[in-house]
A and B are shown apart, each in its own frame.
Chain A
């Protein structure tokens, strides 16, 4: 039995790695994607163009604007003289934000009243707008605190002390890059398996396999193992780069991470094999993998929190293995989570893996022609 499975595993590896193009497809795109996506996929703002329309000649406005100039998140692109300049600058996307300080800003503040700061933000990308607004608030708050101290203003009766766990600087790269570990591992595991049965069916070799003494379970294991091994290898490479290239801290144990990764890859391979056994042609398999992949990524919490989704969609995400693995990766990396804490995340993936594999194995012999 082991001999037969071994034969299949060897054959699958040869088929995947012998051909130069297919070897390249397995290695180059994931690395390329890791690199580009890790730098590109971030919600953090950096060097955002803004303009200033300052009608106030006083020192308060000068000090406040100094805070903005000092922040790496912002880049002063334009200084305006008239109210009419604001609309075109924003409309034409020359700047994302205009700070408007009215004439009486310093006077008001010196007389103990609030100075008014008008922040005009381009809301076409509302998420960027919200993040931008958060940055502005933070800068203004630190300016205000300083001003209160310097000018002996009464302190407010209560004060909010914010402490952030696990990611004190709220770097979204720390959030996204471990997510990419999950994303790319899923893509690789799917690409390796989703076409494997369909390709053999198209080439007629699957019939040839079915007339050999191989049991469907043996075919299943023989098909699954290469996907699992390649997935683990690429996953490890990506984890290595995440820690050493992007400097994401790895607080948890490798054991907890690898148990999760193994279960995740098993479930992904199961899904891939199931798609592959349903499909008649490679085109259908590719389309099927794609139709699974897109919702699986969107509904995984990769970029947008699951908690924001409607209740029904949230229930749907329970079927998505990526959802569980993303939490595992992020908590192990950033929170140092223990294996025991992650148990509720391990078993759903194991269930998905087992169920999809059983369906795939059954379809090998019983799908209608």
Chain B
């Protein structure tokens, strides 16, 4: 921070950096001639989908990898020549920050203070600063492994900042973190930049976060696409974003219809309507969009960063698949009535109530979103529904059965996609698909047909013989969904299906879910992407094992309209709910 003399120099300069990895018989070019610079004293976002080369770039800057070509200068030092000096003056938080889970918060801090040569005399003061910054003060005695995802990230940040740094590299710090903790993390980052003069380079796949950066670097497949202020990107999109509503029409059908219209680049469900980005800056007529005057209302809306990102990637040739037409839907028993019933469900782990008396129903053909912060009890509920975990109390029925006790046949009717990629990593794509087809008892003919369907539908044909563990995240997740659909289940359980997946893949994924919903497949999904919750018919918001609210996304947003904020997003509503609940609990504890 004493570097006022050359504060005009960029904090980080990359010149023609190339990096290739070889292994498993093939070469991958992770970075292909990247030149960029990061200005001092601001937050620069490193944005790009999977396999863009974000993590490789971070590691190169931190001196953990050596570039094959090109030069990297961090804080005026050549990284190749003096890695140790660079490492002492920059802070780096890897994607999976290596906290020692069996050490307490304080012990982790002490360790990094020792490793960063922070003199013992300065520690008390610095710790106090960091605790104030991160709000971890009440938890110093707790084991790091017992912290929630968001708190772990904050501790990771504190550890990499234990000695004041000029440059901070954060690799996807907000992945897997709920919206509340995400906001808090961003507050910390801005506090650092504004009050402590730190330069931050942050990579993310959340595009709404790009808008919070002061400058962004866009990357795709190892190449730099562009660099500049986020506003610059949104400007090019001016006049191309519209909100389309059709009162008499199902929003999913509307989205599909709009997506197929020629002038439309991108169509996305938002609330009750569909947000459309057009190819050119010209307001489309209802006829352009394949409808009549009276049934479509079109309204111009301000562009978002995401629009430009999607547009740019489309120009780079990223195609988005269109799911095939809905097929005849099979209804094994009845097509009406609740498919999932949960009544006063409880689950205890020792003295901890992970799920504390929740009740909800899911109707046939409905997409229900289960929202909640990390540790709200979403996954536990899921595991109980799927029969993987016995409930401590309460009643639950899936398609009229308790899956834990029901005959194996009942499980034939459900599909399940776990939170982490949980297919066989060392089998190929085709082998995985065949395996699940066989396990679900499909005969040879049907099996061939379904495997073929999955390869085509999910555009996996080219990768049919690739080892599934080595696929990019987006493909893995496609494969997982394909495997869960091999037997055409009536009910689909999706546990945080899009965590860590880039926006394009996420969109594609939801397009498929929408298509399934149209085929009257019942879908239960957990997520903490609030934009995704917009796709659901109904959402249930959970916190600390309890249901806080239930209803359509619109209804929940409406309930949280205030004078200052007449159009709250679902995220605003969610955060308000969680904070209310926190206050209630604190009052109860005080009483």
Contacts and interface: CB of A to CB of B under 8 A. Distances in A.
B426 A214 contact: no
Given A10-B435, A211-B411, A3 B441 contact: yes
B416 interface: yes
Nearest to B469: A203
A342 B369 CA distance: 63
Interface string A205-237: 101111111110000000000000000000000
A4 B438 contact: yes
Contacts of A214: 408, 439
B407 to A, nearest CB: 8
Interface residues of B, number: 33
Contacts of A212: 411, 436, 439-440
Interface in A143-178: none
Interface string A1-38: 00110111011001100110000000000000000000
A11 B435 contact: yes
Interface in A299-326: none
Given A207-B388, A213-B412, A7 B423 contact: no
Given A18-B427, A205-B424, A211 B387 contact: yes
B439 A14 contact: no
B253 interface: no
Contact of B431 (A14, A204, A207, A215): A14
B26 interface: no
A204 B418 contact: yes
Nearest to B436: A212
A209 B438 CA distance: 12
Contact of A4 (B423, B425, B439): B439
Interface in B323-372: none
A18 B420 contact: no
Contacts of B426: 14-15, 18-19
Contacts of A209: 439
B422 A7 contact: no
A222 B157 CA distance: 46
A71 to B, nearest CB: 56
Interface in B375-416: 383, 386-389, 403-404, 408-409, 411-412, 414, 416
Contacts of A15: 424, 426-427
Given A204-B422, A208-B418, A369 B389 contact: yes
A6 B438 contact: yes
Give the interface residue-count category, chain A. Answer: 20 to 34
Contacts of B424: 11, 14-15, 203, 205
A204 B420 contact: yes
Given A6-B438, A7-B435, A213-B441, A208 B408 contact: no
A211 B414 contact: yes
A207 B385 CA distance: 12
- Contact residues of B: prevailing secondary structure: loop
A7 B438 contact: yes
Contact of B408 (A10, A207, A213): A213
Nearest to B404: A365
A215 B406 CA distance: 11
Interface in B421-449: 421-427, 431, 434-436, 438-441, 443
Given A11-B431, A213-B409, A369-B389, A207 B422 contact: yes
B438 A211 contact: no
A5 to B, nearest CB: 9
A15 B404 CA distance: 28
Interface in B508-565: none
A365 to B, nearest CB: 8
Contacts of B440: 212-213
A14 B438 CA distance: 15
B178 to A, nearest CB: 21
Contacts of A207: 383, 386, 388, 416, 418, 422
A208 B425 CA distance: 13
B198 to A, nearest CB: 37
A14 B427 contact: yes
Interface string B227-252: 00000000000000000000000000
Q: Counting chain B CB atoms within 10 Å of each CB, which of A7, A212, A365, A369 scores highest?
A: A212
B416 A211 contact: yes
Given A3-B441, A211-B411, A212-B436, A205 B427 contact: no
Contacts of B423: 205, 208
A49 to B, nearest CB: 52
A210 B386 CA distance: 9
B388 A210 contact: yes
A365 B383 CA distance: 12
A210 B422 CA distance: 12
Interface string A330-369: 0000000000000000000000000000000000010001
Interface string A96-130: 00000000000000000000000000000000000
Contacts of A211: 386-388, 403, 411, 414, 416, 493
A209 B411 CA distance: 11
A4 B441 contact: yes
B102 to A, nearest CB: 14
Contacts of A4: 438-439, 441
Contacts of B435: 7, 10-11
A257 B441 CA distance: 37
A188 B388 CA distance: 31
B345 to A, nearest CB: 16
A103 B246 CA distance: 122
Nearest to A208: B422
Nearest to B380: A369
B24 to A, nearest CB: 11
14 contacts: A3-B438, A3-B443, A7-B435, A11-B431, A14-B426, A18-B427, A203-B422, A204-B418, A205-B422, A208-B416, A209-B439, A212-B439, A213-B409, A215-B408
Interface of A: 3-4, 6-8, 10-11, 14-15, 18-19, 203-205, 207-215, 365, 369
Given A10-B438, A11-B427, 16 more contacts: A3-B443, A4-B439, A7-B438, A8-B439, A11-B431, A15-B424, A204-B420, A205-B422, A207-B386, A207-B422, A208-B418, A211-B388, A211-B403, A211-B411, A212-B439, A213-B441
